[in-house]
Structure 1
Amino acid sequence: MQLKKLAVLCSIALLSSAESALADLTIGVSLSATGPGASLGIPEKNVFALLPTQISGEKVNYVVLDDATDPSVATKNARKLVTEDKVDVLIGSSTTPATVAIAEVANESATPQVTMSPAALPVERNKWVFRSPQQNSVMANAVVQHMKANGVKTLGFIGFSDAYGEDWLTSVTAKAEAAGIKLVATERYARADTSVSGQVLKLVAARPDAILIVGSGSPAALPQTTLIERGYKGQIYQTHAAANQAFLKVAGKSAEGVIMPVGPVVVVDQVPDSHPSKKVGLDLVKKYEAQNGAGSFSSFAGHAFDAYRIIEQAVPVALKTAKPGTPEFRAALRDAIESNKEVVASHGVFNMTAADHFGLDERSHVLVKIDSGAYRVIGK
């Protein structure tokens, strides 16, 4: 009789434990803490140590993995997170190629994914994938409008030979043409390249009024320093993916005068108090730098926080339908991310729709010029 009673008690305990585990929300993260994308992934990783461990009364478990900036490792990470860790949502990765690899797993497993890179995907592979960074076309528009306003007639381009570089090239080509700006030279380079002398010689020979460099983090400094060494005197533009201390440190004085679009959190002390992201951004920067040192904050930390923010605001809605740990909850979370409105984050305000899984508008960027190694807000 006692053994039977003990068995019943054990069964109840196991059921209670299973129900408790079922209620935990598990967020799986794959980012580039090593490899060419490390200057993006390290600040992103630092953010996950600062995030709350509860959302709407549900315990949150974070499983953070390094994909070493390698799409094949990112795929393995995503499969592990989905099959072994049973995550409710995926975050990642830091770079576009690795992000695209994770997206394959997100779609196969019907698991929502919030990326930290502005990866472009065809419609059929976009259902489960959302982004925290600004869409490249939005940032390209800001850059081209500045070029037009400042008399640029001819443009040179050098960018990563991957999905990030190609998406920017597509966006800027169309917008430059519409603005009456002619693209006179197009060059590419790999993230791990150690020299771009050949490409830069061709760009300088074309004598464009301005050159756009499409890179990220420290690898974006290679064309920058080479152009200055080769005597290029025109205006150089960079993208928001170069907005971090690694780029500034490696590029050094050669970065002086560079113009780029950045999220408001990068220069949060310079944006007006009326900006919706001001309060959120100030709080994030304060917490981040208290943990990691003064001046350590970068744009990429903001993308990681915003990915969390998108999920945080969707969880209460999804919980009305199902509990974490179930396919029903993952589907409800996806739907909530897509339908939530005016989600205020550090880089802007998200309004996702079925047709737009970026969700950021003109409030998501300001133009800055690098002056004495710091970002200074400029007008359009």
Structure 2
Amino acid sequence: MKKQLVAFLLIALISLSGPVLAAEPIKIGAFFALSGPAAFIGTPTKLVAEMVVEKINKDGGINGSPLELVVADTESDPQKALLAARRLVEREKVTALVGPTRTDTGMAVKAYLHQRRVPTVMTVGGDPVIMGDRFGPFDWIFKSPQRSSVAVSRVYEYLQSRGVTRVGLLTASDGFGKDGLSWLTSLAGEYGITITANEQFAPTDTDMTTQLVKIRATDPEFIICWTIGPAAALVSKNVQQLGLTIPLMHCHGIPDPKYLELAGDAADGTYMPSTKLMAAEQLSDDDPQKAVVMEFIRLYKDVYQFERQYPMNTHSGYAWDAIMLLAEALRKVGPDDPVAIRDALRQTSGFVGVSGVFTLSEEDHNGLDTDSLIIVKVEQGEWVMQ
């Protein structure tokens, strides 16, 4: 009787803890900026990657095989990112990769990952990682954040809907800023937009008033700033200090409680495109993403309680989507053939993620359109969907 009771209790315990995955694990490399200037993005991205791997394994893994996440730190440095990628691929023998954190580090590893034929879903903002021609082949590189071109198109759609035709540009001189600038200038004509001024700044600059004064002199109806990190808050403060009444539009990398903290009341009245995470409660019930977004928020805030140390921002879902996209491909074709994994990623259609509904192709290794982004305005420290 005692033996039967023990056996019963063991079975009950196993059923409560989820399926037991005894098969060989599938190793996924994850390389993010866990130190250096981009660590404020990379560290919570790693936590989300671990969270989604745990969820996948609790749900049965990949056809009975658990995922194993092997983590490396890029130190926010392009050369260190390449060393991290080499270690994960050559020493750890990972099946695929997710990461890195910033466009510059993504470009540093792009050629190597193409040469080694490693399916990689990046979590970087810039488009060059999935662009060919002078940027090099992108056969093995995908990315989960919206393309800069999609974010620019969403901004221009919104401005066009408001009858805006004249904008001044203020962009960072790093890879992300240059990528944004190229799309802001090349797409403007499609939306009837005239660029009245085009000013740049270094991401480490602490005052952009000179550039803003030059932009003001050209009489734009909106100012568009394209940068990530603390520089955006400085621009908002400079706009306030100058007493400018011209509305300010930031890029899709800015919706973040840190921006609100750094900019203070200068954030009020600023606009930006955002993933739906930042205004989830304001989504209509028939939005196909709402259930996925709300589940992500529940896990992030209530179950894993990451919110306490890393308040959720527009970047928070990128690692979730990257790993989920890989998991979908691995379920279809298994872990043994890199070409099959790549092709399965390319055939993804209608996959509902945190950042949008993904439909990829051989030409489009991102698969998100402008409907994946909302425009939010900061009103009294809150994100209000426009």
What TM-score do you get using the length of structure 1 for normalisation?
0.87
State how far apart, in whole Å, the 2-side matches of 1:235 and 1:74 are: 38
Confirm whether residue 50 of structure 1 aligns to residue 58 of structure 2: no
State how far apart, in whole Å, the 2-side matches of 1:168 and 1:293 are: 29
Residues 145 and 362 of structure 1: is their aligned pair in 2 closer, same or farther, counting only changes over 3 Å? closer
Residues 34 and 220 of structure 1: is their aligned pair in 2 closer, same or farther, counting only changes over 3 Å? farther
Number of the residue aligned with 2:158: 146
Question: How many angstroms does 1:22 deviate by?
Answer: 9.3
| Counterpart residue type for residue 163 of structure 1 | G
| Counterpart residue type for residue 216 of structure 1 | I
SS at 1:49 equivalent? helix
Is 1:213–1:224's contact at 8 Å kept on the other side of the alignment?
no
Question: How many angstroms does 1:344 deviate by?
Answer: 1.1
Number of the residue aligned with 1:269: 281
Residues 222 and 21 of structure 1: is their aligned pair in 2 closer, same or farther, counting only changes over 3 Å? farther
Number of the residue aligned with 1:35: 36
SS at 1:251 equivalent? helix
| Counterpart residue type for residue 96 of structure 1 | T
Confirm whether residue 309 of structure 1 aligns to residue 320 of structure 2: no
Number of the residue aligned with 2:307: 293
State how far apart, in whole Å, the 1-side matches of 2:102 and 2:44 are: 13
Number of the residue aligned with 1:24: 25
SS at 2:189 equivalent? helix
Is 2:23–2:65's contact at 8 Å kept on the other side of the alignment?
no
Is 2:153–2:370's contact at 8 Å kept on the other side of the alignment?
no
Number of the residue aligned with 1:374: 382
Match for 1:248 among 260, 263, 277?
Answer: 260
Deviations 1:269-328 (A, max 9, x none): 111111111111101111111222368211211111111111111111121xxxx3x5x2
Number of the residue aligned with 1:64: 71
1:8-23 to structure 2, matched below 5 A, reads 23=24
| Counterpart residue type for residue 130 of structure 1 | F
State how far apart, in whole Å, the 1-side matches of 2:188 and 2:300 are: 37
Number of the residue aligned with 1:318: 333
SS at 2:281 equivalent? coil
Is 2:275–2:372's contact at 8 Å kept on the other side of the alignment?
yes
Question: What stretches of structure 1 of length at least 5 have no aligned partner?
Answer: 1-19
Question: How many angstroms does 1:81 deviate by?
Answer: 1.0
SS at 1:125 equivalent? coil
State how far apart, in whole Å, the 1-side matches of 2:111 and 2:231 are: 26
Q: CA RMSD in A?
A: 2.0
What TM-score do you get using the length of structure 2 for normalisation?
0.86
Number of the residue aligned with 1:116: 123
Number of the residue aligned with 2:348: 340
Is 1:40–1:217's contact at 8 Å kept on the other side of the alignment?
no
1:126-145 to structure 2, matched below 5 A, reads 126-145=138-157
Question: What stretches of structure 2 of length at least 5 have no aligned partner?
Answer: 1-20
State how far apart, in whole Å, the 2-side matches of 1:206 and 1:69 are: 37
Number of the residue aligned with 1:15: none
Number of the residue aligned with 1:82: 89
SS at 1:301 equivalent? coil
State how far apart, in whole Å, the 2-side matches of 1:84 and 1:34 are: 22
Is 1:39–1:218's contact at 8 Å kept on the other side of the alignment?
no
What's the % identity of the aligned pairs? Answer: 29
State how far apart, in whole Å, the 2-side matches of 1:375 and 1:231 are: 23
State how far apart, in whole Å, the 2-side matches of 1:62 and 1:77 are: 14
Deviations 1:352-378 (A, max 9, x none): 100111101233111111111111111
SS at 2:344 equivalent? helix
Deviations 1:70-92 (A, max 9, x none): 11111111111111111111111
Question: How many angstroms does 1:21 deviate by?
Answer: 11
Confirm whether residue 237 of structure 1 aligns to residue 221 of structure 2: no
State how far apart, in whole Å, the 2-side matches of 1:137 and 1:248 are: 25
Residues 144 and 292 of structure 1: is their aligned pair in 2 closer, same or farther, counting only changes over 3 Å? same
Is 2:23–2:66's contact at 8 Å kept on the other side of the alignment?
no
Is 2:151–2:370's contact at 8 Å kept on the other side of the alignment?
no
Match for 1:352 among 360, 364, 369?
Answer: 360
Question: How many angstroms does 1:161 deviate by?
Answer: 1.1
